[in-house]
A and B are shown apart, each in its own frame.
Chain A
Amino acid sequence: MIALLMRDLRLAMRAGGGFGLGLAFFLIVTVMVPLSVGPQAALLGSIAPGVLWLGALLACLLSLDRLLALDWEDGSLDLLATAPLPLEAAVSVKALAHWITTGLPLVLAAPVLGVLLNLPVPGFKWVMISLLLGTPALSVIGTFGAALTVGLKRGGLLMSLLVMPLYMPTLIFGAEVARRGAIGMDIQTPLLMLAGISAASIALLPFASAAVLRINLR
């Protein structure tokens, strides 16, 4: 498992690996929003948590179609499926690698970009915490979407359509934590819901991903 994680991280860092793709997209979205909204600091401050969450979600979505498709194209997925590593473990590790290369940089970049969006000071902590809790769910759900569409050429559109509704609960509760945190309201309920969604996705979805992958490999 560690070998697979290290390989995926190494591939992401090498030329053409796509590391930084999500981060660059996140940066573009959040830099463009203040320019398009105009000089209204109060409005910007109140939409900042939602914009940061939406940007992070779209950045995650952008990098999903490479998650399993590259391994499928060069035949490594067939070989992994016949290796001693269970497919459930393999998809979990791939989701983890996706989170480390995409989700974690987003969490770390969010407070910096929050400054650009005039995010209220109490919000910084909660934006980071909500993203830290929510992005693992985005990676795991995304891996499931990638597994569903793995054999399809140009499956990116179909995958986005399939994954979008599954992303909604994470987005709703994640952005709610950040919004309430920013204006000093009680965050306990959405925070627990977000943590629950992440925990359930991480626990259950690898089995679903492995099952659909087995079907797609036939």
Chain B
Amino acid sequence: MSLRISDLCIARGGIPVLEGLSFALEPGQALILRGPNGSGKTTLLRTIAGLQPPVSGTIEGAEDMIAYAGHSDGIKPTLTVSENLDFWAQVFGTEGIAAAIEAFDLDILRDRPAGELSAGQKRRLGLSRMLVTGRPIWVLDEPTVSLDAKSVMMFAEAVRAHLGQGGSALIATHIDLGLDSAVLEVGPFKAKLPAIDDFDGAFL
């Protein structure tokens, strides 16, 4: 169940952003992606999550293995915290949201409409969704945005527990999570290719 990326080239808006990227993520491992704004971290994560096709190169072991969390949490403001989580648990066919509620300390917020939560609380709810998916590979894009120090610890603890159960995580972040993990600096893989002259590509 390891994720293998080989010689990957990815593009955003017809302009290649990263090329020649290869790495492997084994069960129990976490990999932190670092790089300046606009270096292609989000595009890389979206490509690995299957939301867009790579320009070239291969991604192995990603199919139906990935739980993706992007910049927005996908929370419905008029549903309560537990209704939001229940929905994702049903979509992913898993049982029980109790572990997720507990891991992110959402118990007192359970029956509150998600629209009334603060930004940090929403983020915690969004991250707790990872636990209900039951997927082994977590792909997280800047998960700690708007979290306070205590919540960051809570999140790091959840990732550690996930790794302990044989899961893996690919995290783009600018802060130190205190995880014992490898770091991949994406800067050196910056693409030098010219923009793709592919008029039809926008439509196909």
Contact = CB atoms under 8 A, between A and B. Distances in A.
B72 A17 contact: no
A74 B93 contact: no
Given A78-B51, A83-B92, A84-B93, A14 B87 contact: no
Nearest to B129: A79
A10 B82 CA distance: 14
Interface in A63-103: 73-76, 78-85
The binding surface of chain A is classed by DSSP as: helix
B180 to A, nearest CB: 27
A76 B78 contact: no
A206 B129 CA distance: 27
Contact of A78 (B68, B83, B93): B68
B70 interface: yes
Nearest to A82: B68
Contact of B76 (A2, A76, A78, A84): A76
Interface in A166-218: 215, 217-218
Residue of B52, B53, B78 most packed against chain A (CB within 10 A): B78
The binding surface of chain B is classed by DSSP as: loop
Nearest to B67: A82
A83 B88 CA distance: 9
Nearest to A2: B90
Contacts of B91: 3-4, 80, 83-85
A217 to B, nearest CB: 5
B199 interface: no
B115 to A, nearest CB: 9
Contacts of B69: 79
Interface of B: 46, 49-53, 64, 66-79, 83, 87-88, 90-93, 129, 203-204
Given A7-B76, A217-B51, 15 more contacts: A7-B83, A14-B78, A73-B72, A74-B73, A74-B77, A75-B72, A75-B73, A76-B74, A76-B75, A78-B72, A78-B74, A83-B88, A84-B91, A84-B93, A85-B91
